């Protein structure tokens, strides 16, 4: 259940438009919203004062753009590094969802470019909705694609999609399980009816019971490529997928370099999918 949202507003990008779209959903309208803006440290008191003044204006502009009453929203202005403070504030307010922008940097560019969104995701266990700066438009959420496998994070993705879809009129959830190579009995099962795919069957049954419109798809091929194609072909408004945390406890305070350099499905799709991407994170 999404009851407590942190919007990390840098003053640029599409995050405000994304939040406007989310606020069209009655369930989200009942959520508590915190808007955070971070100002970078300065070497002089005069420069710092200017930064604080500008940051305060950015927060005010955000509340105005979202049509929010300042008395009914938690607006926070902090000084420091955004990549450190976003996660810290999310923990302070116990956020159920972090909404933030993404430049869509990949691999080493994400590291060298000091990617805030990727850094926060790697060190946070909280769901994050990433909105690329170069998206042409943020559309109302009607079609939600959920990437499914047998991981707990995929189940968490399904739960979020279900909670949203139940509150969106004429919504549809597309359940996708990509298979590297179809063969034998599984190939026949999937061709006859993707609802019977062993990974999708339970999720499909749940959506039927809840009366939520859905489709099951089990395409063959590389997961990232096939999901990216489906996002375009089906005009998906929101992609939801998980990223299991395989790091040992001792490493949870450090970014996962294997994923930072682009080795994960989540990293591939946050860069290449042409729609907002909601990433869930649970321990594997």
Q: Model confidence at 218, in pLDDT bands (50, 70, 90)? A: confident
Average pLDDT taken over every residue of the chain: 83
Query: What are the tokens at 75?
Result: 């607006």
- Please tell me the distance from the alpha carbon of residue 20 to that of residue 5, in angstroms, as a whole number: 13
- Comparing 26-35, 118-127, 200-209, 220-229, the range with the smallest average pLDDT is 118-127
Q: Region 209-235: what's the mean pLDDT? A: 93
Residue 121 has pLDDT above 90, yes or no: no
HSE-CB of 18 using CA atoms within 13 angstroms: 30
> Is the CATH code 3.40.50.620 the one for domain 4-132?
yes
Q: What is the pLDDT of residue 264?
A: 78
What is the residue whose two structure tokens read 């299991």? 244
Indicate if 143-280 has the same CATH topology as 4-132: yes
| DSSP string across 40-76 | ---SSHHHHHHHHHHHHHHHHHHHHHTT--GGGSEEE
Q: Rg of the Cα trace of the chain?
A: 19
pLDDT digits (tens, 9 = 90+) for 86-110: 999 999 999 999 999 886 554 434 4
Global pTM?
Answer: 0.86
CATH numeric code, 143-280: 3.40.50.620
Q: Where are the domains of the chain?
A: 4-132, 143-280
φ, ψ at 118 (rounded to 5°) = -70, -40
């Amino acid at each position: 259940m999404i009851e407590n949202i942190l919007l990390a507003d840098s003053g640029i990008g599409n995050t405000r438009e994304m939040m406007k779209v989310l606020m069209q959903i009655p369930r989200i309208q009942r959520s508590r919203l915190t808007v955070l803006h971070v100002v970078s440290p300065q070497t002089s008191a005069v420069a710092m004062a200017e930064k604080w003044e500008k940051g305060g204006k950015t927060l005010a502009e955000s509340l105005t753009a979202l049509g929010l009453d300042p008395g009914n929203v938690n607006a926070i202005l902090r000084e420091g590094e955004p990549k450190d403070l976003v996660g810290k504030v999310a923990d302070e307010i116990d956020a159920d969802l972090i909404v933030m922008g993404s430049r869509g940097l990949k691999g080493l560019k994400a590291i060298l470019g000091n990617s805030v969104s990727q850094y926060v995701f790697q060190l946070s266990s909280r769901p994050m909705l990433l909105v690329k700066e170069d998206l042409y438009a943020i559309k109302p959420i009607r079609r939600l694609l959920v990437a499914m496998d047998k991981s707990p994070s995929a189940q968490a993705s399904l739960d979020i999609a279900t909670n949203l879809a139940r509150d969106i009129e004429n919504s549809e959830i597309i359940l996708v399980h990509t298979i590297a190579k179809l063969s034998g009995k599984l190939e026949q099962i999937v061709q006859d009816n993707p609802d019977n795919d062993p990974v999708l069957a339970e999720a499909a049954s749940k959506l039927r019971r809840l009366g939520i419109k859905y489709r099951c798809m089990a395409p063959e091929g590389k997961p990232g490529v096939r999901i990216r194609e489906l996002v375009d072909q089906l005009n998906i408004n929101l992609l939801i997928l998980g990223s299991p945390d395989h790091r040992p406890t001792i490493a949870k305070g450090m970014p996962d370099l294997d994923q930072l350099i682009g080795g994960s499905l989540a990293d591939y799709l946050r860069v290449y999918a042409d729609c907002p991407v909601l990433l869930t994170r649970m321990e594997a």
